[in-house]
Structure 1
Amino acid sequence: MLTGDLRSKIDRVWEAFWTGGISNPILVIEQITYLLFLRRLDELQTAKEQQANFTGEPIESPIYQPGQYDLRWSRFKDKDPNELYRLFTMPDGAFAFMRNLAEESAFSRFMKGATFMIPTPRLLGQVVELLDKIPMKDRDTKGDVYEYLLSKIATAGQNGQFRTPRHIIKMMVALMGPTPDDVICDPSAGSAGFLVTAGEYVGQVHRQALMKPAVQDHYRRQMLMGMEFDPTMIRIGAMNLLLHGIETERLMDVDALSTANANFEDEATLVLANPPFKGSLDADHVLPDLIRTVQTKKTELLFLALILRGLKSGGRAAVIVPDGVLFGTSKAHRQIRREIVEHHRLQAVISMPSGVFKPYAGVSTAVLVFTKTGTGGTDQVWFYDMRADGYSLDDKRQKTGADFEKFAELDTLIEQLKTGEVTSESLKNDIPDIVYRWRHLDAEADRVRTDQSFLVPVDDIRANAYDLSINRYKEVVYAQKQYDTPDVILKRIKALDAQRQADLLALEEMLQPAGVAVS
């Protein structure tokens, strides 16, 4: 967990870029990412050197050759800004070294096309000095530092992609409960928040299972996979994973919907995703299988088709969609909803308030939870009306209720709900209640449609043209209110007016000088 002092140090790095003329948050984070990678390379080289000194053997696969030692973080961090800038920008300097590095890590695979954008020696020297003062020895601190940097992003991408709030990601991961045996995919990985959180969940909840070498190897190499077509975002995502101690080999720089991703079929056992909402693609470049599932150019519908294609039979998915997917009346909207309901198993629709994605956008969204079966299986669907997520629903998104950093803390809140120590109202956060009720769906059978959550039989959904909006099924109880008749109201007004006149006369008498008449 970040302390106030550590947050202020990170803020100073951000302020240095801002005052130095770089205000685009994505660009700032990208440049910081390059510097953090150089710092990590030096740490890896130091570890190799320590190992060689201990064993007396030569350094195995050294990162730096003898003529490149000045390009190491520990060597250049204290240099004069002008010399530092020269070391970075010369043709065989630190940045070129990093960009041309062989695949020393998953991150280095995505350095092609990277551009050094820090404009002045003064800014570079200032940022290197500030970053060097941030302690990043352990994995948790490194991950927290980077997550805090990512929280500074307050703009949406051109294709409608948003940075998903961490607590919403944690809710979805807790709902799905990934295991060490899963193959977990995010086909619109972005900054890799879902992959990082899923990896953390497995590490925290299944710690004992990860002690086995075979399970550990699967965790490190095969369990997490993601796709991202934006070269900047895939570098940021790779660094996010790296700083959380996860160096997956299955992060791919590919447009997930295109024919270049044809191999993604019957592969994942769990998909966690928040696909772009507003994109529209040329059908000629989209996988033909997706068009056969849903005839559309809308990315939010095509991604649902892609997820169904990429899941193994029995695989599960939790996907954020805009509300329009739930009730849209176009042929394509109804087509994809019918596909999920009739040919697979739709299990839950969790409606989220419109402020969840602020300040990026005020769009209303929901989480769809479903299982790929290919043979149907939807019998009843669980609906939940989330009203609070622990933060204000305005642009500031300030903390207003209970929150949790680790999954064990979420479990504690769930236990307190179970015993009646707290309520969702007192927590001002529905997430613990959502996870608790999802884990005890049998108890939801007695809930009625005036409650915050309830079950809806599939026949009702069919009868409503596969409309999945909660308002279609939620019942509202209107309390009868009695109003006074007009003659009673008029009498009350006359009485008030008489009292006003009496008070005015009393005031005049108080202000009248003795023996002087008021005209």
Structure 2
Amino acid sequence: MTIENLVKRIQDIMRQDAGVDGDAQRISQLVWLLFLKVYDAKEEEWEFMDDNYESIIPEELKWRSWAPDNKDGKALTGGALLDFVNNRLFPILKDLEVDEYTPQRAAIVKTVFEDAYNYMRDGVLLRQIINILNEVDFNDYQERHAFNDVYETFLKSLQSAGSSGEFYTSRVLTDFIIEMLDPRIGEVVADYAAGTGGFLTSALEHLRLKEETPEDRETINTSIVGIEKKGLPYMLAMTNLILHDIDEPGIKRGNSLADNVREVSDKNKVDVFAMNPPYGGVEGPGIQANFPNDMQTKETADLFIATMMYHLKKNGRAGVILPDGFLFGTDGAKVNIKKKLLKEFNLHTIVRLPAGVFAPYTSIKTNILFFENKGATEKIDFYEIPLPDGLKNGFTKTRPFMKKHIEGAQEWFLHRENGDENAYSATIEEIEKRNFNIDIRNPLNIKDEEVYTLDELMEELNEKALEIESLLEELSSVLKGDK
């Protein structure tokens, strides 16, 4: 089995089905199938370890009961398979009885299927996809973990289904942020805009390198928490963590902005935040009311920064990806949020990402902000990741942002005393004079006007067109929100 071949075979089959329209539906269709197969493999493990284990899924609805094809002509296919899926599997799993006493690893089945749908109309094509998934043996530890790479490929395809990286942040960025935050065993690591769980799985893998005892493993497995608002990325995140051997993923379905920040208790605070909140979104008056008057704004990303500040423990650490707009914005609420961030927290580092990091799905420039709950900011260290030779206008789909492009920032982050031409600083006094505009560029990188060839001009115009398109999408979102 090769990753590319398996993904391509499934995608090619789904494109033949008249009921599946677009990447979002293809991914959603695949995820509920994948979840059931992965969950069935985990149940076999639980049954082996506990003779008294009881499944929340009726026996005839378990993957092992209806999905295998033994090549004896008895496997469900065509109209019979569609009838089973649409009229038995989905109605029963959506209506499972769950209460406060239901173990979380059982309750997640109902939660996942509450927003799942079978889009496929051709039962023969559906059978073909099921047979491909059955080629992966999730009971085999090595093969299950090899499938993580396949799953990563699935998640990448979400970039064309979401907007502005809403569902997926590249492994390069999640690993970098987690490594710089360096969570320790016993600390709670959270992502309140969890998406597909990229930050959480990066944190999980980072922490498992530190474990020494079975108790460490149990502590790690219960210290990864997240909240996700939308059904599709929630399903992806749950499956992602199960694939990473988390039996009871600590991800809740809901809007993390719906809680009143004035009422956050110490028990609800976390040690480490790693996030890429959705930007370009808008929130209504009911959500805004959960924040102090001077911080109320419709901009989703700004409210997430406020949420992080109220939920971060003393001495806690955070790394968050934000667009340039947060840095240079000077409207009242945005400035007030930045004032709180700088006056009460230590915003010690901003890594400025080059253009095209999220190409081709958005051209909005972004930054990684690192801050800690250890007192006020005195100065901010900036690191501006340079574009490699030959990419004057930014990364592209064919030449994407890769691990090697962030290695300089990582080396500098850990050894700042050595200096770097891409690094510079600004004091809090300088920032206050700028009315808290922290959109500060490296003075060494300010160049004289450059002479472009015709090809270079055309490339830049194309990049500008993508940027305008992205801004129009943001404007459309704002107008839909009646801003």
TM-score band, normalised by the shorter chain?
0.7 to 0.9
Going from structure 1 to structure 2, the CA distance change for 1:44 and 1:59 (only over 3 Å counts) comes to farther
Q: Deviations over 1:467-489 (max 9, x none)?
A: 21232x524476899xxxxxxxx
For the pair 1:433 / 2:424, whether they are aligned, the reply is no
- Please report how far the alpha carbon of residue 264 of structure 1 lies from its aligned counterpart in structure 2 after TM superposition: 5.0
Residue 304 of structure 2 corresponds to 303
Q: Aligned partners of 1:399, 1:279: CA distance in 2, in Å?
A: 25
For the pair 1:7 / 2:4, whether they are aligned, the reply is yes
Q: Aligned partners of 2:449, 2:46: CA distance in 1, in Å?
A: 76
Structure with greater Cα Rg: 1
- Please report how far the alpha carbon of residue 80 of structure 1 lies from its aligned counterpart in structure 2 after TM superposition: 4.3
Q: Aligned partners of 1:390, 1:477: CA distance in 2, in Å?
A: 17
Equivalent of residue 36 in structure 2, options 35, 38, 49:
38
Q: Deviations over 1:74-119 (max 9, x none)?
A: 643211413651563363x333444345654464133224222221
5+ unaligned residues in a row in structure 1: which ranges? 53-57, 404-428, 482-519
Q: Aligned partners of 1:118, 1:478: CA distance in 2, in Å?
A: 55
1:78-477 paired onto structure 2 within 5 Å: 78=69, 79-82=75-78, 85-86=81-82, 88-89=84-85, 91=87, 93-101=88-96, 103-105=104-106, 107-108=108-109, 109-136=111-138, 137-138=140-141, 139-155=144-160, 157=162, 161-204=166-209, 206-208=210-212, 211-213=213-215, 215-221=216-222, 223-259=223-259, 265-266=265-266, 267-288=269-290, 290-292=291-293, 294-373=295-374, 375-376=375-376, 378-388=377-387, 393-398=394-399, 403=403, 429-444=404-419, 451-471=421-441, 474-476=443-445
Going from structure 1 to structure 2, the CA distance change for 1:479 and 1:26 (only over 3 Å counts) comes to closer
Q: Aligned partners of 1:24, 1:323: CA distance in 2, in Å?
A: 30
Determine if contact 2:348/2:371 at 8 Å carries over to the other structure. yes
- Please report how far the alpha carbon of residue 459 of structure 1 lies from its aligned counterpart in structure 2 after TM superposition: 2.2
5+ unaligned residues in a row in structure 2: which ranges? 70-74, 99-103, 451-483
Counterpart of 1:304, as a letter, is: I
- Please report how far the alpha carbon of residue 269 of structure 1 lies from its aligned counterpart in structure 2 after TM superposition: 0.8
- Please report how far the alpha carbon of residue 23 of structure 1 lies from its aligned counterpart in structure 2 after TM superposition: 4.0
Q: Aligned partners of 2:27, 2:261: CA distance in 1, in Å?
A: 28
Determine if contact 2:324/2:366 at 8 Å carries over to the other structure. yes
Range with bigger deviation, 169-178 or 132-141? 132-141
- The residue matched to 1:219 in structure 2 has which SS? helix
Q: Aligned partners of 2:302, 2:43: CA distance in 1, in Å?
A: 46
- Please report how far the alpha carbon of residue 220 of structure 1 lies from its aligned counterpart in structure 2 after TM superposition: 1.7
Range with bigger deviation, 451-460 or 99-108? 99-108
CA RMSD, aligned part only? 3.0
Determine if contact 1:13/1:127 at 8 Å carries over to the other structure. yes
Q: Deviations over 1:250-288 (max 9, x none)?
A: 311111111378765541111111111111212233353
Residue 481 of structure 2 corresponds to none
Determine if contact 1:156/1:361 at 8 Å carries over to the other structure. no
Residue 471 of structure 2 corresponds to none
For the pair 1:76 / 2:67, whether they are aligned, the reply is yes
Determine if contact 1:391/1:400 at 8 Å carries over to the other structure. no
Q: Aligned partners of 2:418, 2:367: CA distance in 1, in Å?
A: 22
Counterpart of 1:244, as a letter, is: H
Structure number with greater CO (CA < 8 Å, separation at least 6) is 2
- The residue matched to 2:368 in structure 1 has which SS? strand
Going from structure 1 to structure 2, the CA distance change for 1:338 and 1:104 (only over 3 Å counts) comes to closer
Counterpart of 1:308, as a letter, is: M
Determine if contact 1:349/1:367 at 8 Å carries over to the other structure. yes
Q: Deviations over 1:226-248 (max 9, x none)?
A: 11111222111111111122244
Determine if contact 1:277/1:322 at 8 Å carries over to the other structure. yes
Equivalent of residue 26 in structure 2, options 25, 28, 32:
28
- TM-score normalised by structure 2 residue count: 0.80
Determine if contact 2:264/2:311 at 8 Å carries over to the other structure. yes
Q: Aligned partners of 1:201, 1:135: CA distance in 2, in Å?
A: 26
Counterpart of 2:414, as a letter, is: R
Q: Deviations over 1:166-207 (max 9, x none)?
A: 111111111111111211111111111111111111112x13
Q: Aligned partners of 2:444, 2:418: CA distance in 1, in Å?
A: 19
Q: Deviations over 1:284-322 (max 9, x none)?
A: 33353x234523221121111111011112111111111
Aligned length: 430
